Amino acid sequence: MTRPTLLAAAAAARLAEAGVPSARFDAEVLLAEALGTDRGRLPIADDATPEQIVAYEALLARRADREPLQHILGRAYFGPLTLAVGPGVFVPRPETELLAAWAAGQAGCGAAIVDLCAGSGALGLYLAATVPDARVVLVERDPRAVDYLRRNAAGAALAGTATVLEADVRDPGLADRLTELLGTVDLVVTNPPYVPDGAELDREAAADPALALFSGADGLDLIRDLATLAARLLAGGGAVGVEHDDSNGAGTAALLRAAGFGGVAEHRDLAGRPRYVTGRMDP
């Protein structure tokens, strides 16, 4: 028989043997993809055809080889968003949604928001989709990532506006360009490269582009520059949120304080790991 539930059970065992941590979930998601249905409908789906089984086997082989699930599907889910992703752009992680939710709580209607090191656009587009009349600028330097970013910005259902700016956050003239564009910036968010050089990564994490991962011997090189840039952008008053490596909560907080931010707070994710730091700039 080719019942979907039986196919998924066998596939989950295969993926678990290959070391995939979310074997059952991934097996079901890929089966739903091969069948052209939703994962929740698998128990009532029709038997798989021989052609669908062949397609499923091809997807499973890629996942068993530890190709990221999001690369196989060509998409990642982040809050209300479905983002195009693939080789060349950082795949957003669920834990970053905590920073996104914090940021949405800081932004009032019509807020001017800058997402630095935007990648696929997860943070900035989340805010453009959830904050009414928000004016969001997403800054990214990697041309490969910018391609995904533009596609995601064009395809998202937004409550505000989203503008993509291809630029390096270390460009000394960037703050002037952004201030000229937005007027007064109310909120800066960033999930920058923050992995210390030489850190060991599992195969799936290593599938993300190195440019989006590594940031000097301690992982703080780019955050040093971002703290100063954020302070300039928020000179009229506003909030900043920065995601960081789980070894660098205190280091990130110190950099924000040194840049002039007050009310600096360290936040943990649902697993209890240090995840992001926030601060405020008074007018």
Q: Residues annotated in the binding site for S-adenosyl-L-methionine, as ranges? A: 140, 191
**C-alpha span between 162 and 165 (Å, rounded):** 10
**C-alpha span between 7 and 283 (Å, rounded):** 60
| Structure-token match 């939710």, residue found | 101
- Phi/psi-derived region of residue 216, left when phi > 0, alpha when psi is between -120 and 50, beta in every other case: left
CA distances from 151 to 33, 119, 156, 169 (A): 22, 12, 9, 21
Show binding-site residues. Answer: 140, 191-194
Show binding-site residues for substrate. Answer: 191-194
58 CB contacts (<8 Å, ≥6 apart)? none
What torsion, rounded to 10 degrees, do the Cα atoms 73, 77, 81, 85 define?
A: -40
**C-alpha span between 142 and 23 (Å, rounded):** 32
Name the nearest CA neighbour of 182 among 166, 165, 205: 165
